[in-house]
Structure 1
Amino acid sequence: MVLSSGKLHGETEPQPEIASNGFDAASNLPRVVGPIPGPKSRQIFEAEQCHIAPGRQRVSLLAGLALDHGEGATLTDADGNVYVDFVAGIGVASLGHAHPALVNALARQAGRLMVGTFATSERAEAFRLLTEVAPPNLTRAHFYSGGAEAVEAALRLARSATKKHEAVSFWGGFHGKTAGVMGLIGDESKHGYGPLAGGQYLVPYADCYRCPFKLTYPSCGLYCVDFARRQIRNSSAGAVAAVVVEPMQGTAGNVIPPDDWLPAVKSVAREFDALLIADEMITGFGRTGRMWGIEHSGAEADIITVGKGMGAGFPVSAVLMGEQISHAEPFARPSASSSSYGGNPMAAVAVAQTIKTIRQEKLVENSRAVGAKLLGRMLQLKEKYEFVGDVRGRGLLLGLDLVRDNATRRELSRQVMEIIFKEALRRGLLVMGYFPRVRINPPLVITERQAEAGVEILDEVFSYVRDEVDWRSGD
């Protein structure tokens, strides 16, 4: 078949390289050129609202922005305002926005093949690179498309390997919104969806700043672990297949437990002959200044789920497992663990290029170095502003607790937090600052100068709130 171009059907031309736009990350700083949101943003946002169903992300609804493009660690809206990005698509944009290496790799692959039913060299390379950077005990993997899908697959794998069916997760935890994992959510967001899947139990996380037992680490002796042990024993039917845990909790506010907590959790899992599943959706791929969040504790997971930053914006997730577990049936039977889009060549290229770029540009090291600078500056804000109650961080995963009173640790009201979010926005900073537990997780490519620009904006906003807002008020 001859096409109008004169080419035979199936004959392809070499795909052109998409050139770098000359982006200089060191000089790309926030720049406000008009009102926020501006008229073009408003028009696009309102046009979308005419047809999109309710339930979009809160950060999008509060901002009311329409984005036009991104470069590195900045985003530009439809009206030309430039923002430092402390959100990164909620930890997704590990390589920043429009990284030339990723753009070129995906463009080349789009002109070749997109479906993943059969083996491809792209997927073989992605598996090889992923298992190279994985913890040494995890030598096998499956690709999926989203986080909840991967966590559900991990639960099926754990059931297959242990021949048991129950799962334990943690207060404050988040593992996706599909029906199979909603019971693992450790907050009120699951209310109204019941009945949920049975055999799923929740125990306390080591959220030391807001310890539910009003104890202090380390004198507490990790009482939360002893409590969890008793809770599991009293709640379970004796069939715990897995303990599912985030090495550091993202949705709860970038909560960082003590390093000795995760090994203690692993010991509890072993007491019940259960597998430890580390959900590294937010903490994996360099986010915490190490390749994996679990590395900080020295604990070893039996299964790891990963996504978000692994694809640097392309939708892809994975389940990592050991050799022996990988053969457990029924999970290992033909078609039992497959996925329509999992491991398609586009996703495989995204994974492979992300790993290559993280290595070549030393982004784990950048996360550690810039994150340490950010943490130091946040601690200065804590000393300066009475309402900054807690500051914590590992690499480029940082959190702040904003409180009305440091003794009671009562949170700032939602009204005050929305003021903080919008004041930051109109100065050129996108940050998940609309809840009293502020989350900071910028792209791994962020420079010290860009990070400092973001902190300077936070400093300005906090100064405004201290001087001009009745921050102790509100519901």
Structure 2
Amino acid sequence: MADDLQPRPRAKTKALFDEEHQFIAPGLQTIALLSELAIERGAGATLTDLDGNTYLDLNAGVSVASLGHAHPAYVAALTKQLGAVSVGSFSSQPRAELVRLIATLTPGELNRTQFFSGGAEAVEAAIRLARSHTKRTDIVGFTGGFHGKTAGVLPLSDVDWKSLIGPLPAGHHLAPYADPTRFAGSEDECREHAIKELRRVIEKEVVGTPAAIVMEPIQGTAGNIVPPPGFLRDVKSVAQEYGALLIADEMITGFGRTGRMFGCSHDEVVPDIMTLGKGIASGYPVSALVSTDEIMAAKPFSLPSASSSSYGGNPLAAAAALVTIQTILSDKLVENSASVGRLLRDGLAALATRHRSIANVRGEGLLIGFDLVADRETKTLLPKERCIAFFKRCLADGLIMMSYTPRVRVHPPLILSAEQANSALAIIDRGLGVLESDR
């Protein structure tokens, strides 16, 4: 099909992007580098650049902006708190209310919370806690997993960081994640194979028995990969068998993203430790770990200052998280995530019947993925340069989406409406048409 899309004005946006990049260090997120956007303001599920172009945001800062952009309740709560006090580890009303609220939402007896700023910081703290409690050292993660970029969690990524930057902490091991999109067999066979491999890694590679198994209920960076039903439950059973703790990394999946409050709820699993972040505070840098009274009492983790963080749980951070979670509950955004997410997945599945370049539509709630493929029969992934062309075409049509690799990730604000979801599907439809006509 002919592409008659008219280019958008970009002079002011491009000028600021170029000016900033004279001084900012390389290594920014790929979506920022490829889009070359300079954003002036946001409203709900949309962003507007310096030239006045408005975009529908299916990225939400990679699952961060739960309430969208400039939500009135969020702006009011943070403005009020800024006028009072914003730093310090002393008790504050927002933090007291926040820890009480989290304890009412987390499953089982997970009722003790410690706060941090970034995801990697919280996962590292969870590992320290697991080691404090079990008095063991080794940690098992999964291929395709992502838990941050600090040295303590880099070994839980299947990128060969050791050859890139040198030695990393020892005692970390990876087992294959149950990924149905990469497994030639049924979902049950995929799950059983992954559990068999998990046992093999524990028996053959771990020194003694592991302190913890760390996993994402749905793998985000790998492409929003949804494991077969029962996988998380089976991993929990293996952890219990070996006396290890199960750490559920809910950075991406927590607080309504999957159409339930937490990702582990889909398998009705209560982990021993949960790590939380991203959407917990809708843009303010807040992360947390939650566990039981017994586990949190483990030393040295529970000693004074042993698990504290300079910015963790300060009054402004607590106010941001509190108003976010309160609004998720009051505005029924968990339910909205489930219903609008179903609409998006059904729409993408319908597109897959008409376009030969899309396959493996998957997801829960508003955490959705699909693959761009060169051959739908073999599911050979599309070359990256063609994915980038698709990304830029969607961007030019007013859609921000992580579609510059063949494993497309969709995670809009939880406030996304059905009308906006249909608008996004129309843009994706047009983009796929142009992509396929250019072959």
Same fold (TM over 0.5): yes
Residue of structure 2 in register with 1:334 after alignment: 304
1:287 lines up with 2:257 in the alignment: yes
Residue of structure 1 in register with 2:204 after alignment: 234
1:175 lines up with 2:147 in the alignment: yes
Residue of structure 2 in register with 1:93 after alignment: 65
Looking at structure 1, the residues matched to 153 and 382 of structure 2 have their Cα atoms a distance apart, in angstroms, of: 31
CA pair 195-142 structure 1, distance change in 2 beyond 3 A: same
1:433 lines up with 2:372 in the alignment: no
1:82 lines up with 2:54 in the alignment: yes
CA pair 85-291 structure 1, distance change in 2 beyond 3 A: same
How far apart are residue 465 of structure 1 and its match? 1.0
**Does the CA-based 8 Å contact 2:191-2:228 persist in structure 1?**
no
Residue of structure 2 in register with 1:47 after alignment: 19
How far apart are residue 134 of structure 1 and its match? 1.2
How far apart are residue 219 of structure 1 and its match? 4.2
**Does the CA-based 8 Å contact 2:254-2:276 persist in structure 1?**
yes
Residue of structure 2 in register with 1:457 after alignment: 427
Looking at structure 2, the residues matched to 283 and 293 of structure 1 have their Cα atoms a distance apart, in angstroms, of: 5
Partner of 2:194, secondary structure, is helix
Residue of structure 1 in register with 2:158 after alignment: 186
CA pair 461-188 structure 1, distance change in 2 beyond 3 A: farther
One of 17, 30, 45 as aligned partner of 1:58: 30
How far apart are residue 191 of structure 1 and its match? 5.0
Residue by residue over 1:210-240, the C-alpha shift from the partner in whole angstroms, topping out at 9 and shown as x without a partner, is 12xx333224561111111112210011141
One of 257, 273, 295 as aligned partner of 1:325: 295
One of 231, 237, 240 as aligned partner of 1:267: 237
**Does the CA-based 8 Å contact 2:179-2:190 persist in structure 1?**
no
Residue of structure 1 in register with 2:369 after alignment: 399
Which structure 2 residues correspond to residues 317-396 of structure 1 after superposition, within 5 A?
317-396=287-366
1:150 lines up with 2:122 in the alignment: yes
**Does the CA-based 8 Å contact 1:106-1:346 persist in structure 2?**
yes
Give structure 2 stretches of 5+ with no counterpart: none
Residue of structure 1 in register with 2:224 after alignment: 254
1:442 lines up with 2:412 in the alignment: yes
Looking at structure 2, the residues matched to 105 and 190 of structure 1 have their Cα atoms a distance apart, in angstroms, of: 44
1:418 lines up with 2:388 in the alignment: yes
Residue by residue over 1:394-430, the C-alpha shift from the partner in whole angstroms, topping out at 9 and shown as x without a partner, is 0000000111123332210011001000000000000
Residue by residue over 1:104-153, the C-alpha shift from the partner in whole angstroms, topping out at 9 and shown as x without a partner, is 10011111111122111121111111111111320100010010000000
How far apart are residue 357 of structure 1 and its match? 0.3
CA pair 34-72 structure 1, distance change in 2 beyond 3 A: farther
**Does the CA-based 8 Å contact 2:113-2:289 persist in structure 1?**
yes
Looking at structure 1, the residues matched to 162 and 257 of structure 2 have their Cα atoms a distance apart, in angstroms, of: 27
Looking at structure 2, the residues matched to 196 and 159 of structure 1 have their Cα atoms a distance apart, in angstroms, of: 18
**Does the CA-based 8 Å contact 1:182-1:190 persist in structure 2?**
no
Residue of structure 2 in register with 1:307 after alignment: 277
**Does the CA-based 8 Å contact 1:248-1:283 persist in structure 2?**
yes
**Does the CA-based 8 Å contact 2:129-2:301 persist in structure 1?**
yes
Letter in 2 for 1:146: G
Q: Using structure 2 for the length normalisation, give the TM-score.
A: 0.97
1:408 lines up with 2:381 in the alignment: no
Give structure 1 stretches of 5+ with no counterpart: 1-32, 471-475
Residue by residue over 1:40-91, the C-alpha shift from the partner in whole angstroms, topping out at 9 and shown as x without a partner, is 1101100110000110000000000100110000000110011110000000
Structure number with larger C-alpha Rg: 1
Residue of structure 2 in register with 1:26 after alignment: none
Identity of aligned residues (%): 50
Letter in 2 for 1:179: A
Partner of 1:368, secondary structure, is helix
The list of structure 1 runs, each at least 4 consecutive aligned residues, that deviate by more than 4 angstroms after superposition, is 188-191
CA pair 220-419 structure 1, distance change in 2 beyond 3 A: closer
Looking at structure 1, the residues matched to 166 and 9 of structure 2 have their Cα atoms a distance apart, in angstroms, of: 38
Partner of 2:56, secondary structure, is strand
How far apart are residue 348 of structure 1 and its match? 0.3
Looking at structure 2, the residues matched to 354 and 248 of structure 1 have their Cα atoms a distance apart, in angstroms, of: 22
Letter in 2 for 1:407: E
How far apart are residue 36 of structure 1 and its match? 4.3
Looking at structure 2, the residues matched to 149 and 384 of structure 1 have their Cα atoms a distance apart, in angstroms, of: 44
Letter in 2 for 1:281: M
**Does the CA-based 8 Å contact 2:191-2:231 persist in structure 1?**
no
**Does the CA-based 8 Å contact 1:171-1:187 persist in structure 2?**
no
Letter in 2 for 1:363: L
CA pair 148-221 structure 1, distance change in 2 beyond 3 A: closer
